[in-house]
A and B are shown apart, each in its own frame.
Chain A
Amino acid sequence: MDIKLAWRNVWRNRRRSVIIISAIAIGLAGVVVYEALTVGMTTQMVENIVGTSLGDIEIHHRGFQESKTLELAIDNPEQVLRLVRGTEHVSAAAPRVRAQGLVSSARASAGVQILGVDPTAEAAVSTIAHSLVRGRFLAAADEYAIYLGEALAKKLKVGLGRKVVLMAKGLAPGMASNAFRVVGTFQTASPNFDKMTVYIPLAAAQSLLSLDGKISEIAVRIDRQRSLEQVAATLRTKLAPNEYEVLTWKELVPNLVQMTQLWEEWVYLFAFVIYIAMVFGVTNTMLMVISERTRELGIMLALGTRPLRIFRMILIESALMGLVSVALGSAASFGVVWWLSLQGLDLGWFVRGLSFLGLSRIIYPVLTPSILLISGLSALVATVLAAIWPAWRAVRLEPVEAIRDA
């Protein structure tokens, strides 16, 4: 009954209600799209790092993460890989050798990170094979082939089919070096990574570094992010903790976690300010509503309507407007997010690139149900809160004066 009455009241002044509903809907849609873009950006940042050079989870010999030394290697890779691949939610796993070295051409040299990979397995855990610019990715039959960043190839002034020399310190005493033939170049979202990373076949890395079948890490991809901790926990129970360390990407790149957190906190602050602006608009509108209906409210009070009921009705009226706004705002944000996700938001409109953040120029929004739910609820709460003062004023009217007033 009260709801029906409040609903009718909302539409007594259509123009006014439409304007305030638009204000809330626009604010809400703005907040939701803003958040969706932020989540889209952080997701992309994580995927660009995790999907290129790390993995959702990495398994090392205990202590490797801290020291990065080749001596702490996994010496039974086949056995561990089998165990990992048989774990639930693991979609792929690949062995890697990770070492530091110097790559030289006739023209220049550069300090690099050497990644020794199994070409087939690596293509399943990382996007590096798809970041191809020229030539091809490593193949299973390759012996001394090298796949390097396009930027690095430019710096070294080498083309496809040319030779470069890799120099590194392996487990054997002294410096080891060998020539590798360039088979392809890649470009990822991170120019730094492109400038200092080379991929060579796993066997070649093991022989260059005298690793004798050992590897530095196993990169693991999982089929859904929300199982991250669960898969890591399972792996930790399966692998002897005094011999292996199992690290999720959140532990591998804590900076990234902090950064994404920071961005999300900012969005909350933005949203908060927008909601305050909404409160101003709604309070003003509801005050107008009250002053317009002074006489009517006076009569209601005079006829014995309980003040609490009037208070409630005004809140309900505001809440109904809020509900309509939330519905419209959500629909609008769906529309905008859908439109943006078709082609992505090209940040090239105002920046040349964000590669230093590990971001591509095109951002795809990610709209999660929780974003929509939390933002919508906050907008609703804001509209109801904004009506409290006007409602309280309505209740405090002196019936006799109110009737005479109009």
Chain B
Amino acid sequence: MSSLRLLMKLAWRNVWRNRRRSLITIASVAFSAAILVFTEALLVGSHEQMVLQVLDTHGVGQLQIHARGYQDDPTIFRSFVPSAKLLRFLKGDRELRGFAPRVQGEGLAEVGQESKGVMVVGIDPELEQGVTPLAAEIVTGDYLEPNDLQGALVGERLLKSLKAKIGASLALVTQTRRGTLGAARFQIRGIFRTGVPALDENLIYLNIKSTQRLFAFGDRVTMLILKLRDPTLAKLNHLKRALLAQVNPQKLEVLTWPEFMPELVQFLRFDSASGYVFLLILLLVIAFGVLNTILMAVLERTREFGVLLSLGTQPRRIFGMILLEALLISLIGATAGALLGSGVSAYVVQHPINLSGSSMESFESWGIKPLFYAKLSWGIAVYPALIVLGLGVLIALWPALRAARIEPVEALHTR
């Protein structure tokens, strides 16, 4: 115990023998730890926000219940009647912020001389508000009244390509569930803008009842979409399991957002991967710099180690001391870096970085605001620092081994 304390004391003194060099080494370790923490905080925070925003703007909820097979083959031929038992369960679930039924299928929209293939989405105007921000996305006109069976909400771009205006009459031609042709006239009540071109030029929202008539659906729906109060993956999966116990899994499928929007998961993974590759390059550069300082510090002390060895100090103690020195330097650096990185991250948690006006705005076409969010947790602050700490000690292995292998006699001859 006392020998460890002695070793500790020695290592500590050695670190401060060349103060400037140690400080710069500490600074570069701290720099890398801070960048690591901050990058991780940005990745995690931005990804979380990105997911919520993309799910919101795309109006798809966080969890969906479909007829079995709909995810792989999304046609009007896969629909279901939500059982009273299921609806009761959903109404009673306190974790839910809301749920809403959807009927959707493809059709051709016509206004005057213009026509365009569209996606027709039938919504319950009241329930929809608990799940998607559609009502807030109306830029002109009004949101659908609950009993308005004639009204239609049209995307901004679609309106333009149909050369239509608010109040215009819109004809929809669709294929019904029975394979026959369905057609009906509606009136454009409101115009919405999500910012996502694919949605704004393709979607038409109608009352679910008129949509059911258009597709000859009866009481059937295409899906139920659900939104949670606290949408963590753990809670989503928990709810999914609870739902699977409520429904017949032979007939229905319950999907969480990573399952119904796999491309979003792929993008997040790709984004993380490119972030980690960058951090790896950074760590390599820093590692070589730190290796240099520690190795030089050891070589400078060849004579000192020679003396120690000839006085009978065991080589492994010298090995241990150098590792301890590296550990001290990395510990101070990693701690300072983690604190700095967390500090900056904490600021960004409160004040997301606003990048509007830059090319970040291209993200708006995916339904993502040009804002950079951060997230801070113990894991985000501590793990990167631990990686840097481990790396620091790892780097010191070579110099420490060299010092332990010094030939005492030769070492004493060096200047």
Contacts and interface: CB of A to CB of B under 8 A. Distances in A.
Nearest to B29: A280
B183 to A, nearest CB: 10
Given A19-B291, A102-B117, A352-B262, A26 B284 contact: yes
Nearest to A33: B281
A167 B179 contact: no
A219 to B, nearest CB: 20
Interface in A89-112: 100-102, 104, 106-112
Contacts of B269: 350-351
Interface in B203-242: none
Interface stretch (A79-87, A137-145, A234-242, A256-264): A256-264
Contacts of B141: none
Interface string A222-261: 0000000000000000000000000000000001001101
Contacts of A285: 289, 292-293
Contacts of B108: 100-102, 111, 167, 169, 175
B368 to A, nearest CB: 12
B75 A155 contact: yes
Nearest to B72: A154
B116 A258 contact: no
Contact of B25 (A30, A67, A284): A284
Interface string B354-371: 000011111101000000
Nearest to B198: A192
Interface string B285-323: 111110111011001100000000000000000000000
B282 interface: yes
Contacts of A110: 106, 117
Given A102-B173, A277-B28, A288 B293 contact: yes
Contacts of A34: 277-278, 281
Interface string B163-179: 10000000001110001
A277 B31 contact: yes
A354 B361 CA distance: 20
B281 A31 contact: yes
A284 B293 contact: yes
Contact of B24 (A27, A283, A347): A283
B175 A281 contact: no
Interface in A277-299: 277-278, 280-285, 287-288, 291-292
Given A262-B360, A273-B35, A352 B266 contact: yes
Nearest to A168: B115
Interface string B114-128: 111111000000000
A104 B175 contact: yes
Interface in B13-59: 18, 20-21, 24-25, 27-28, 31-32, 35
A108 B75 contact: yes
A274 B292 contact: no
Contact of B163 (A31, A67, A102): A67
Contacts of B296: 13, 16, 288
B179 to A, nearest CB: 7
B266 A353 contact: yes
B394 interface: no
B202 interface: yes
Contacts of A109: 106-107, 174-175
B2 interface: no
Interface in B63-107: 73, 75-77, 106-107
B353 to A, nearest CB: 12
A258 B295 contact: no
A258 B118 CA distance: 27
Given A26-B281, A110-B106, A274-B281, A100 B117 contact: yes
A276 B113 CA distance: 61
Query: Counting chain A CB atoms within 10 Å of each CB, which of B21, B174, B266, B277 scores highest?
Result: B266
B226 to A, nearest CB: 24
A111 B119 contact: yes
A113 B198 CA distance: 13
Contact of B285 (A26, A68, A104, A353): A26
Contact of A351 (B28, B117, B273, B285): B273
Contact of A258 (B25, B28, B160, B359): B359
B151 to A, nearest CB: 21
B347 interface: no
Given A169-B114, A255-B362, A350-B269, A23 B281 contact: no
Contacts of B119: 111
| Of B263, B291, B292, B293, most A-chain CB atoms within 10 Å | B292
Contacts of B270: 347, 350-351, 354
A258 B362 contact: yes
Interface string A53-77: 0000000000000011101000000
B110 interface: yes
Query: Taking each of A168, A175, A270, which has the highest tally of chain B beta carbons within 10 Å of its own beta carbon?
Result: A270
B31 A108 contact: no
A106 to B, nearest CB: 7
A22 interface: yes
A380 interface: no
B218 to A, nearest CB: 19
B54 to A, nearest CB: 11
B287 to A, nearest CB: 8
A256 to B, nearest CB: 8
B161 interface: yes
B70 to A, nearest CB: 12
B362 A112 contact: no
B335 to A, nearest CB: 18
A284 B289 contact: yes
A350 B285 contact: no
A196 interface: yes
From A282, A291, A292, name the one whose CB has the most chain B CB atoms within 10 angstroms. A291
B117 A111 contact: yes
Interface string A149-163: 000000100000000
Interface in B133-188: 160-161, 163, 173-175, 179
B154 to A, nearest CB: 14
A3 B119 CA distance: 72
Contact of B115 (A23, A67, A169): A169
B116 A16 contact: no
B38 to A, nearest CB: 10
20 contacts: A15-B299, A23-B285, A23-B288, A30-B284, A67-B160, A102-B106, A106-B179, A107-B77, A108-B76, A110-B106, A111-B202, A173-B113, A175-B173, A273-B35, A274-B278, A277-B282, A278-B289, A281-B28, A284-B25, A287-B21
- Of all A-B residue pairs in the complex, the 4 with the closest CB atoms, nearest first, are A111-B117, A281-B289, A23-B288, A30-B281
Given A108-B76, A285-B293, 5 more contacts: A23-B284, A111-B117, A262-B362, A281-B286, A284-B28
Interface of A: 13, 15-16, 19-20, 22-24, 26-27, 30-31, 34, 67-69, 71, 100-102, 104, 106-113, 155, 167-169, 173, 175, 192, 196, 255, 258-259, 261-262, 265, 270, 273-274, 276-278, 280-285, 287-288, 291-292, 347, 350-357
